[in-house]
Structure 1
Amino acid sequence: MIESLQQFDVELFLKVHRGLANPFFDWLLPLMRNRYFWAPLYLFIVVFSFIEYKKKGWYIIGMLLVTFGIGDALASRIIKPLVGRIRPCNEMTLTDQIIHRVPCGSGYSFPSAHATNHFAIAIFLIFVFYPKWKPVLPIGLAWAFIISFSQVYVGVHYPIDTMVGAVLGTAIGLCTAKIYKTIQPQQ
């Protein structure tokens, strides 16, 4: 069962990584997974939270940092070392099939911390901002999805790594949103 699931994961990985290869994705998707590319968005979220939510903005940003911290700790420091799955770009059996679009890194692959963190942040922000800003739902989900998809396309994660990261991040985002709802000050 595990072997057939791993085989499916490798086949799906290759369909995305090699099968969807094109110059536009080769340019765009490495950018989508780059944290510096998103720095203006992160700054906007901080400024928006303070301007629009005043005192609650401190709670939003604080819980956003907690959300990120929990996601990153669970994915990178707890689960990855326990599972120890090799990244596809470091997998010896895939050496001749990998297109090197970004540096591979030496860490483990499962689950994707990018997917975990960005889905956690997106879900948290959706629950906080949705009552006033309905477009945050499709925008937040699309943002987290494109970052997760990019991880597979550039060759640093298998699809199951990002899917599990998305599920884990969603659970974290839901939990921290629930905590936020109970501790937020009334305005």
Structure 2
Amino acid sequence: MITNIQEFDLELFLKIHRDMSNGFFDWLFPLMRNRFFWAPLYLFIIIFCIREFKKRGLYIIGMLLLTFGMGDLIASRLIKPFIGRIRPCNDFQISNLIIHRVHCGTGYSFPSAHATNHFAIAIFLILVFYSRWKPILPIGLAWAFIVSLSQVYVGVHYPIDTIVGAALGTAIGMFTGTLYHKLQPYI
């Protein structure tokens, strides 16, 4: 069964990484996974929270940092070293199939920390702001999905890495979002 999952994962990886290949995606997806590209969005969230919610905004930012920290700690420091899955771009068995679109990195692949962190942040923000602004649901999910898909397209993660990262991030975002609502009356 594990072999079938790995074969499916490799086939899906190649469909996304190679078969979807075109000039526009070659430009777009490396940007979508670049943390500096999203810096204006992160700055907007910080300024918006402080301006609109004052003290509660600082609490939201603190919870957002906790959400990110939990995602990064669990995915990168706990699970990745334990599983030790090689990134597709570092796997010598498929090196002739890889299109090098970004620097590969030396870390492990499973789960995707990008997917974990972005889904965690998106779910947290959805839980915090959905009652005030309904469009955050599709926008937040689309944002996390595009970042996750870009990881596969550029060749640094297999699809299962991003799927598990998305599930882990969703669980973390739900936990911190629920915690935010439980603690909110006390701030």
Fold match (TM-score > 0.5)? yes
Contact 1:56 1:185 in 2 (8 A): no
Shift of 1:54: 1.8
Match of 1:28 in 2: 28
* Alignment TM-score, normalising by the size of structure 2: 0.98
> Which runs of at least 4 in structure 1 moved beyond 3 Å after TM superposition?
none
The CA deviation string for residues 41-86 of structure 1, in whole angstroms up to 9 with x for no partner, is: 0000001111122211011000000000000000000000000000
Structure 2 distance, partners of 1:183, 1:48, is 21
Match of 1:168 in 2: 168
* Alignment TM-score, normalising by the size of structure 1: 0.98
Q: Provide the alpha-carbon RMSD of the alignment.
A: 1.0
Shift of 1:9: 0.2
Matched residues, number: 187
Shift of 1:166: 0.2
Contact 1:119 1:144 in 2 (8 A): yes
Shift of 1:185: 4.1
Structure 2 gaps, min length 5: none
Question: What amino acid maps onto 1:17 in structure 2?
Answer: H
Shift of 1:129: 0.8
Q: Does 1:106 align with 2:106?
A: yes
Question: What percentage of aligned pairs have identical amino acids?
Answer: 71
| More deviation, 12-21/50-59 | 50-59
Match of 2:116 in 1: 116
Structure 2 distance, partners of 1:52, 1:126, is 17
Q: Does 1:60 align with 2:51?
A: no
Shift of 1:169: 0.1
Structure 1 gaps, min length 5: none
Query: 3-state DSSP class of the match of 1:184?
Result: helix
